[in-house]
């Protein structure tokens, strides 16, 4: 097939393969983003996306969270596994904690979807079935990972005595934990909570702040769940953004740039007058959706509501729903 008849996406694929084969791009090096490829090759974003999809399907490249699309390691030459020159690691070197920590490292770097028992074994440099000696499977492993990272939450003896300051400290610590481990928000639902020792220790901390202020048991549990849901609900988007960035090579700001024409058409249609007025009111700088700022605003609003509940309980007033 001549170059003129080769589909544009295939020309991009061939060029990246060549660059890898010639050593211009080494394992772990970042592949040009979708937008950069589209600009360099003068093709549509969809064409560049298709090229990267082909390369991922053939495992020439893979997505790395918070980095983007990178050249995949050469089989047998991965720098992440230990003992590559000496064969599999002796079984006596493995432990449940070691397996869990290796899994956490993978999920932190690449997201929960990239986690597999085989990948954990590869990271530890041991036989593929060895981790099963310590955990029953991926579901069991994820529970252990969640319990382990919840154990990182600080619960100092000198915690604030004031209930509001204590709840705020607990919520901020939980947000920081999800920031450090974005996959954590994917591990459980509110309706089927994870009954893990370290997670219950966190709930104990939060409930103790509410205890003794006249709130009923159900209300105390509701407040604890609402605060947790606020953190989890926003934290879900940390990993989703990392996945989207890796899949497209675009930051959230760059992606929004590609939506500018569609947004302009929607506002110009006049069908959404309030939305249009609010967006235009943000000025030329536009609206910056900042998850940290949203967390702080939501937390303050929730604590204001809890304050009203506490005041009502102290005075015997009944709050109407």
In this predicted model, which residue has the larger pLDDT, 89 or 253? 253
pLDDT at 3 over 50: no
Count Cβ neighbours within 10 Å for each residue of 140-166 and write b for 16 or more, e otherwise: ebbbbbbbbbbeebeeeeeeeeebeeb
In this predicted model, which residue has the larger pLDDT, 85 or 73? 73
Please compute the mean of the pLDDT values over residues 112-136 and round it to a whole number: 88
H helices of 91-216, in order, are: 96-110, 117-124, 138-150, 163-180, 197-210
Could you give phi then psi for residue 71, rounded to 5 degrees?
-65, 130
For residue 220, the model assigns a pLDDT of 95
pLDDT at 170 over 70: yes
Please compute the mean of the pLDDT values over residues 117-122 and round it to a whole number: 88
Band of residue 302 on the pLDDT scale cut at 50, 70, 90:
very high
Paired residues of 70 in beta bridges: 30, 62
For residue 92, the model assigns a pLDDT of 42
Band of residue 251 on the pLDDT scale cut at 50, 70, 90:
confident
Q: What is the percent of the chain where pLDDT is above 70?
A: 88
Please compute the mean of the pLDDT values over residues 16-31 and round it to a whole number: 86
Please compute the mean of the pLDDT values over residues 66-84 and round it to a whole number: 58
For residue 319, the model assigns a pLDDT of 60
Band of residue 320 on the pLDDT scale cut at 50, 70, 90:
low
Please compute the mean of the pLDDT values over residues 24-29 and round it to a whole number: 86
CB-facing half-sphere around the CA of 283: CA atoms within 13 A: 1
For residue 75, the model assigns a pLDDT of 56
Least confident of 62-71, 207-216, 274-283, 308-317: 62-71
Q: What is the percent of the chain where pLDDT is above 90?
A: 39
Q: Mean pLDDT over all residues of the chain?
A: 83
In this predicted model, which residue has the larger pLDDT, 76 or 146? 146
pLDDT at 100 over 90: yes
Question: Can you read off the two tokens belonging to residue 206?
Answer: 């939060």
For residue 10, the model assigns a pLDDT of 87
């Amino acid at each position: 097939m001549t170059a003129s008849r080769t589909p544009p996406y295939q020309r991009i694929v061939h060029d990246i393969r060549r660059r890898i084969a010639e050593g211009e791009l080494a394992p772990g090096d970042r592949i040009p983003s979708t937008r950069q490829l589209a600009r360099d090759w003068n093709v549509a974003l969809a064409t560049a996306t298709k090229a990267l999809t082909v390369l991922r399907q053939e495992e020439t490249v893979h997505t790395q969270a918070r980095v983007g699309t990178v050249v995949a390691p050469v089989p047998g030459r991965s720098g992440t596994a230990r003992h590559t020159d000496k064969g599999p690691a002796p079984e006596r070197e493995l432990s449940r904690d070691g397996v869990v920590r290796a899994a956490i490292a993978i999920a932190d770097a690449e997201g929960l979807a990239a986690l597999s028992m085989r990948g954990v074994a590869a990271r530890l440099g041991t036989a593929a079935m060895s981790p099963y000696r310590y955990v029953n499977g991926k579901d069991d492993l994820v529970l252990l990972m969640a319990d382990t990272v919840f154990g990182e939450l600080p619960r100092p003896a000198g915690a604030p005595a004031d209930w509001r300051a204590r709840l705020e400290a607990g919520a901020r610590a939980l947000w920081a934990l999800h920031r450090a481990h974005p996959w954590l928000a994917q591990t459980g639902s509110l309706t089927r909570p994870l009954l893990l020792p370290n997670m219950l220790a966190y709930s104990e901390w939060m409930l103790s702040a509410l205890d003794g202020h006249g709130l009923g048991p159900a209300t105390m549990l509701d407040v604890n769940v609402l605060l947790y849901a606020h953190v989890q609900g926003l934290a879900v988007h940390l990993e989703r953004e990392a996945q989207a960035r890796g899949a497209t090579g675009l930051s959230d700001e760059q992606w929004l740039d590609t939506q500018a024409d569609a947004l302009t058409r929607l506002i110009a249609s006049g069908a959404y007058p309030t939305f249009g007025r609010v967006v235009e009111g943000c000025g030329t700088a536009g609206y910056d959706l900042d998850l940290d700022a949203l967390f702080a605003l939501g937390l303050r609003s929730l604590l204001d509501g809890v304050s009203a509940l506490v005041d009502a309980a102290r005075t015997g007033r009944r709050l109407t729903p």
